[in-house]
Structure 1
């Protein structure tokens, strides 16, 4: 059966399957130090060494290191236990899909936070596109995770679209990125999904398919979710996250 004959759900699953294969390849090459840690015991000392190396090129890693050192000995131990526990990584991803725009939830007795934020920007011009009478919009959406109030990972998505005479046109761009990730056993990858207009050309929509890969001592976990952002002609925006 050709791709043209696949229904929308099957096509999405095909894209995700390709993303999982790609992310497994990426996880074996990106962040080589994290892969090395995944083969051996991760301790407080080895995590400190990891953050020290990351701090050489990333000021946020230095901030994370400073805050981590300020934790009590028992909290440092729990921090490492959370980081090496596949069930915790799974629960983080599952919790994300229960959030609404601007919401934060605490799990594991409040030790871990999961947040979903969205910000909208508007501009009357764009250097890359000539469109008389158009208003341009950006929708930025972030999923972030923290341990003991310390940011540990954050991934983002941006949809860029324009509005003319009250109608929303198909998104111009749909990009994703990893803002930071200080979970050396966990990697993130993304695959762009489809973009379209809905609600009689009053809403722009964009999907991004994310995959979380966790590897520690020969044990692996893969979790995927569909991160959809939308924006309308009236400066409203939203985000919907669904597990896949």
Structure 2
């Protein structure tokens, strides 16, 4: 069943139980704030829900499943080894607007684009469960349940506390800018900002702690998911032909060895 058809069915059920006139979902955080946290210590070792990134090369399947088998971890290392490296460039000229209006439905060449729903709601619908939509809408979510891959928590989310779930740019936009996106066309920057391969709904506080850090200075609190996170970071880098720093690449490899 397609994503839009699923929304339409759920919206019809939701209309019978939700009050009319609910406001739209807040845009929430973008994962490119200023804080940096060291993800290398402690952390929740809980399970994870979702599809392994090795089985989800387009990012259209839900979540970020753990990579656990020896074979899959070897395949992960092989993938990460393909990523090139260079030093991180200056942040001069970076602005979120250089990557287009947040959550625009107009990006070209990425899944879910131009389907009538903004990118944020597309991603919430991809990864959430027990979806409830605003009355009369098959796009705007007002509540859902999220199995957060970064922390292992189950989050009962509602629009009244929208920032509790934020959409993480796995490869942060500021990082992209410093690694070469400053020389891209605007259309390509809009693409990476709205590509589901680079986007995961997660716990808001974990996302805020990440800022624009690479894997050498921030990793998800849940150790179980760190190899998967490294693979997804590598998948984005390879798709958009972006390098990472040598320290970030080594950190990525370490998570999967």
> Scaled by the length of structure 2, what TM-score is found?
0.24
Higher helix share: 2
> Scaled by the length of structure 1, what TM-score is found?
0.25
Higher RCO (CA 8 Å, separation ≥ 6 residues): 2
Higher strand share: 1
